[in-house]
Each structure stands twice: as structure tokens, then as C-alpha cells.
Structure 1
Amino acid sequence: MKETTIKVQGMTCQHCVKAVSGALIKLPGVKDAQVNLEKGEVTVSYHDGLVNVQAMKDAIEGQGYDLG
């Protein structure tokens, strides 16, 4: 199990939390996604052989959020 933290811009409310974490949890291999609104980031626990960080970033951007 690995963990990575991704900076996400534009998250301001619980809808944002659900959108970002929901998109990540749907990816095969993602076990958990914890959003921190104050820091503007999401910490993801995942199985390295099943999903990569770029796929996670693509899923977040697919919800309309910018990274960085």
C-alpha cells in the first residue's frame, strides 16, 4: 500500500470533498481518499500495481478542479 498527497485548487465545500474523493475511490486500486479543504489537498492510499498517480490526477481534473 502506498500513499500520495495531491494539491487541488478550488475546493471550498463538502460538495467538493465528495466530488474529489468519489472520483478517486472509483479508480481500481484506490483504497481511501482524504480531502483537507484547509490545505487544499487530498491524500490517497492506493495499491501501486493497480493505479498510478497520473490516473488520480486525471480523475480530479475530470471533476473540474485544477492541480497545483
Structure 2
Amino acid sequence: MEPQRFTVAGMTCGHCEQAVQRAIRQLDASAQIQIDRAQNLVQVQSSQPRAALATAIRDAGYAVSA
């Protein structure tokens, strides 16, 4: 399974990263998540649909594109 990549705006600190991780893990507790805050990049390996993951990130208060 290929990781899904999201461009996420608004992550400015470690707390932001944790909020994004929490949002994704509420949807899929076993998701593998890598965040590169400098590049505004979130990579998620999950069986959940892309749209559901993007919605979870948006609901945590972050803008998602791509």
C-alpha cells in the first residue's frame, strides 16, 4: 500500500503535528504517519479512503490540498 501524501498548511509547531496525528489516528489507530513540517507534507499509510483522511485533518483545523 502506497502512502497517501497531503499538503497541509498551518502546521507551525510540534503541537500542530500532534493534532494532525491525533485526528488521523482517531480514524485509523494503526495508521503510519510521517510529517515534514518544513515542507507542509503529511504522508499517511492507511486503509482509510483519501477523502476521509483529508476531512479528519481539516476537522482538526488545518487546510489540506493535494
Coarse TM-score class (shorter-chain normalised): 0.7 to 0.9
- Residue 37 of structure 1 is matched in structure 2 by 37
- Residue 13 of structure 1 is matched in structure 2 by 13
How many angstroms apart in 2 are the aligned matches of 1:28 and 1:15? 20
With structure 1 as the length reference, what TM-score do the two structures score? 0.84
* Larger proportion of helix: 2
Would you identify which runs of 4 or more consecutive aligned residues in structure 1 move more than 4 Å? none
Paired-residue identity, %? 31
With structure 2 as the length reference, what TM-score do the two structures score? 0.87
Aligned residues: 65
How many angstroms apart in 2 are the aligned matches of 1:37 and 1:67? 13
Supply the AA of the counterpart residue of 2:32: D
Quick check: 5-14 or 28-37, which moved more? 28-37
RMSD: 1.5
Q: Which runs of 5+ in 2 are unaligned?
A: none
Quick check: 9-18 or 20-29, which moved more? 20-29
Q: Which runs of 5+ in 1 are unaligned?
A: none
- Residue 61 of structure 1 is matched in structure 2 by 58
SS of 2:31's partner is: strand
